[in-house]
Structure 1
Amino acid sequence: MRKHLLLGLLSLLVLLSLSGIASAQGVSLIFWSTEEQPERARATQAIIDRFTEATGIGVSLVLTNEDILDSLMAANLAAGTLPDVMFHPVDYAGAWYADGILSSAAATQVITELGVDNFSALGLVGDGMGGYISVPTDGWGQLLIYRRDLFEAAGLAAPTDYASIRAAAEALHDPDNNFYGIVLATDPAAVFTQQTFEHFALANGVQLTDDAGVVTLNTPAMVEAIGFYADLVTNFGPPGVVDVPGARATYFAGQAAMVVWSPFILDEMAGLRDNALPNCAQCLEDPAYLARNSGFVPAFVGPSGSAPAQYGQVSMMGISTSAPAEAVQFVQFWLSEGYLDWLAVAPEGKFPMRRGTADNPTLYLEGWSTLPTGVDRRAPLGDFYSQEVINTIAEGATNFSRWGLAQGQGRLVGGVYQELVVPVILNDVINGVLTAEQAAAEIQTRVEEIQAAQAEQ
């Protein structure tokens, strides 16, 4: 935690310094992006350069880490140094709007002028008054990825429910040979852990609140989800804390039968990125071995769930309440002239939330489907994955579930994600400090406290 705090403070100093430099140089806009990987940053800068060339409006790009994004935003709000435009997950939209960070007037102008009917996911960002608090740009649906070759050899069914997931994890778990039944996120300081667990909770019918806004986490279904997750981690997972790169690395090394990850893993699994190459035994001769021999389950179901469910994420372009009018122009450019270049940054994980234009309603959907993916080598996803897998990616980006958003609890969702309530308490269960029953009660209490504190603000 101390390391994360230090990183956050150092990043904050950099952000504030950059804001000052930008102001001194007369730059009109400050744009924060969480796409901090070098190749994505270069692609982002190229779109910015095109915008500046076309409009004469300068934009300063500031890269931020998603895990500390909210704390950085809060600090800059207090300091009066908000960015003008920010690329952010939908998780924070409700809370940022309530805190006076996001401008619904600006976001609504962007969406209205580009065409309301052309956007997906607008139901997640309504302001309750007919407008929108942020602009959906792209999205993805989370995947349970499994070694189809090993499942078939062992006569195992695809992992589509709690029972088949556990059965496969138990059957294939072989820790003496450094092979694990499943690898799941456990880092208490990472949003990735919340995202992964929420997938399992949704599958078991667990919701953050009911339609009236009453917190509904201390339930038998939640106890069941917590217990199941902890059972998988402690009995069939690798030792130690598992973070984002750790989960991927374990699967890529051929040391896990299953992993839960976003579709951003697909190009890497095909051997198209040198600093994240699969290194399983078979991958030495065929870098795309895992791509060709993995199966994908977008939605699965638990014993208390009524239907399969999938976690997903929508990314947004938010415009701050302190931004000049040029910010609207910038976001509109991003979602038109620069849009396919933006989706091309990582098409496997960037399904377009703006489908097309009034003249061509499927313009960007069709453009996305032809984009090559990869970093050091580029190729269409269809070179490695079946059309069924590609359809799964597309459908998952628009059909997923999320805690609280359908119930209009975006602000509460933001608070839960900001404080990492679930990852911290889940970690106590994994380490034997709490039982699943105690954890569900504690999570309920903490979320109710967040809700009460927000009501007083």
Structure 2
Amino acid sequence: MKIRSTAVTITAVCAAALVLTGCTAGGDGGDDAEGITFWLQEDLPDRVAATEDIVAAFEDESGVDVEVVSVAEDQFAQLITSAAAAGDLPDVIGGISLPQVRTLSANELVDTDAVGAVVDALDASTFSERALELTADGDAQLAVPSESWLQMLFYRTDLFEAAGLDAPDSYDKILEAAQALNSPELAGFVGATAPGDAFTEQTFEQVALGNGCELVNEDGEIELDSAPCVEAFGFYGDLTSNYSVPGAQDVDTTRATYFAGDAAMFIWSSFVLDEMAGLREDAKPNCPECAADPAFLAANTGVVTSISGPDGDSPAQFGEITSWTITDGANVEDSQAFIEFMMGDGYEDWIAIAPEGKVPVRFGTADEPTVFSDAWATLPAGVDTKAPLSDFYSAEVLEAVAAGPEDIARWAIPQGQGDLLGALQGEQPVATAVSEVSQGADAEQAAAAAAEAARSVQESIQ
């Protein structure tokens, strides 16, 4: 009798350096025909359980045993370091971000030939071209892009309409709205400001990209102290120090403030869409109007996917591509079969786990080019209550979310400096600078400090 996969949640973090330099690879699979180990970068119990069900279907079909290991995002760097040093890497890793892909690649922990063969088997033409670009290094495919989530500026359409304000899609319009709507009872805007927090960096990156602020230029030189970046730091500092709520803000507090009806605008990912519709009990809107109508905020919220600044050539859309990869030394054949299943027969069930944050970047198959993207639009979202997002949001909002993967912009990767983006995740100099300007620090000085710290990290990985 074949043993079913068992999810193991890693809770203890081994003492290890955050930077992987010097680690040697050594997957636990190799020529082992006993099965594979799959690290899932997800620790929400409902999502882990849903993943186990899909894995069980693969086991039944293939006869391959899969050990599912649930890894919290904030523990991933340390755990992969320990595993690499011990020669005990998992065979497959799923749910990894673009910076994590680059960190794994920089430390030669990826079997790029095996990964590339999976993309070929699935047919590269069935994927988002942009997603493949962001997960490749030249001709080497570092990961198999799976889905995306978008970062957006959410705003109260009822309050904007009452005040005669335009949609906040530019620095000027955002600042105008924040000034007009800010009061002792309502923050004009709330955004991440916590130091050392990846969410703070992500939030600022979208704001910065829209103003033409890049982490590096085409020559690979750090640009965080450039005029467009100083302008971006100054703008965000003005917003968060003068028109927001007091204290350091993070992924939980920004959502809580907007859900309480205490902010007119906030920046968050598309993962908030089901929660804003009242479909998740542990993260439910509690605004005054929400008692009678849990979906009040969903009905009265608009989204801006791309923000433009005065120095930018065009608006920019920030988002994340999450991917699968095969480690160096893995049980290649079974790992490839597993990913092909998860991106094929199991793909619809996989994106159905959280469709609000799993926008497919494989749109369909060669025979049915849009089968996955068409299915995504109808999938029920939520946890405690399930319902299609179309029950709560306009077609315009959902179309903006679905189209996002093709327009995603990111720092460093287009300039061939993706390794730097991954290396900066430990120190988070941008988040530190954002925290400082949110407390009134000079934008030029904060930008200079961030740039200097980034240069130091860049030198350390060269």
TM-score (norm 1): 0.91
Name the CA distance, whole Å, in 1 between partners of 2:165 and 2:120. Answer: 50
Flag the 1:9–1:340 CA change in 2: closer, same or farther, 3 A. closer
Task: State whether structure 2 residue 61 is matched by structure 1 residue 47.
Answer: no
Letter of the 1:96 partner, please give it: L
Task: List, as ranges, runs of 4+ consecutive aligned residues in structure 1 with deviation greater than 6 Å.
Answer: none
Tell whether 2:218 aligns with 1:218.
no
Query: CA offset at residue 22 of structure 1?
Result: 11
- Name the residue aligned to 2:380: 372
- Percent of residue pairs identical: 43
Query: What is the letter of the counterpart of residue 454 of structure 2?
Result: V
* Aligned amino acid, residue 114 of structure 2: A
Given the alignment of the two structures, is residue 200 of structure 1 paired with residue 202 of structure 2, yes or no?
no
Report the counterpart of residue 308 of structure 1 in structure 2: 315
Select which of 23, 40, 43 maps to 1:36: 43
Matched to 1:313, the amino acid is E
Counterpart CA distance in 2 for 1:381 and 1:9 is: 33
Q: Is the 8 A contact 2:248 2:435 kept in 1?
A: no
> Which shifted more, 70-79 or 94-103?
70-79
Residue in structure 2 matched with residue 83 of structure 1 by the alignment:
90
1:429 aligns with 2:437: yes
Partners of 1:388 and 1:252 in 2: CA distance: 22
**Could you tell me how far 1:27 is from its partner in structure 2?**
6.2
Task: Give CA deviations for 1:330-381 in whole Å, capped at 9, x if unaligned.
Answer: 1111101110000001111111111111111112111212211111111111
- 2:421 corresponding residue in structure 1: 413
Is residue 16 of structure 2 the alignment partner of residue 10 of structure 1?
A: no
Tell me the residue number matched to 2:176: 167
The residue identity in structure 2 corresponding to 1:140 is W
How many Å apart are 1:394 and its aligned residue?
0.9
Instruction: Give the direction of change, closer, same or farther, for the CA distance of 1:146–1:94 in structure 2 (3 Å limit).
Output: same
Would the aligned equivalents of 1:22 and 1:60 in 2 still touch at CA under 8 Å?
Answer: no
Does the alignment pair 1:234 with 2:241? yes
Matched, 1:153 2:155: no
| Offset, 1:316 | 0.6
The residue type paired with residue 191 of structure 1 is A
Structure 2 counterpart of 1:133: 142
3-state SS in 2 of match to 1:407: coil
**Residues 76-115 of structure 1: pairs in structure 2 closer than 5 A:** 76-87=83-94, 88-115=96-123
Q: Structure 2 matches for 1:286-325, cutoff 5 A?
A: 286-325=293-332
Alpha-carbon distance, 1:223 to partner: 0.7
Q: Paired residue for 1:17?
A: none
Which has the larger displacement, 410-419 or 132-141?
410-419
Q: Is the 8 A contact 1:273 1:376 kept in 2?
A: yes
Query: Which letter does structure 1 place at the counterpart of 2:134?
Result: L
Q: Give 1:222's aligned amino acid.
A: C
| Aligned twin of 2:65 | 58
Root-mean-square deviation (CA, aligned residues, Å) is 2.2
The one-letter amino acid of 2:375's match is G
Which structure: greater helix fraction? 1
Residue identity matched to 2:183: D
Q: 2:336 aligns with which of 328, 335, 340?
A: 328
* Aligned match of 2:25: none
In structure 2, the partner of 1:124 is: 134
CA shift for structure 1 position 429: 2.9
Q: Following the alignment from structure 2 to structure 1, what is the Cα–Cα distance between the partners of residues 382 and 348?
A: 15
Q: 3-state DSSP class of the match of 2:67?
A: strand
- Aligned pairs, how many? 438
SS state at 1:10 partner: coil
1:197 positional shift:
0.5
How far apart are 1:12 and its partner, in Å? 4.1
> Which of 377, 393, 404 is 2:401 aligned to?
393
Measure, in 2, the Cα distance between the counterparts of 1:313 and 1:204.
19
Superposed CA deviations along residues 304-333 of structure 1, whole A, max 9, x for unmatched, are 111111111100111111211211111111
Greater CA drift, 381-390 or 186-195: 186-195
8 Å CA contact 2:196, 2:427 repeated in 1: no
What do residues 24-64 of structure 1 show as CA deviations (whole Å, max 9, x unaligned)? xx962222222221211111111111111112222222222
Match of 1:3 in 2: none
Tell me the alpha carbon deviations over residues 241-281 of structure 1, each in whole angstroms, 9 at most, x when there is no partner.
Answer: 21111111111111110010111111111111111111101
Deviates more, 1:30-39 or 1:109-118: 30-39
- SS of the aligned residue for 1:347 comes to coil
> What's the offset of the Cα at 1:425?
2.8
CA contact (8 A) 1:11 1:64 kept: no
Unaligned 5+ segments in structure 1 are: 1-6, 14-20
Q: Is 2:197 the counterpart of 1:190?
A: yes
Question: 1:406, 1:115 → 2: CA distance?
Answer: 23
How far off is 1:297 after superposition?
A: 0.6
Q: Report what 2:351 is aligned to.
A: 343
SS at match of 2:266: strand
Query: 2-side partners of 1:150 and 1:286: how far apart?
Result: 17
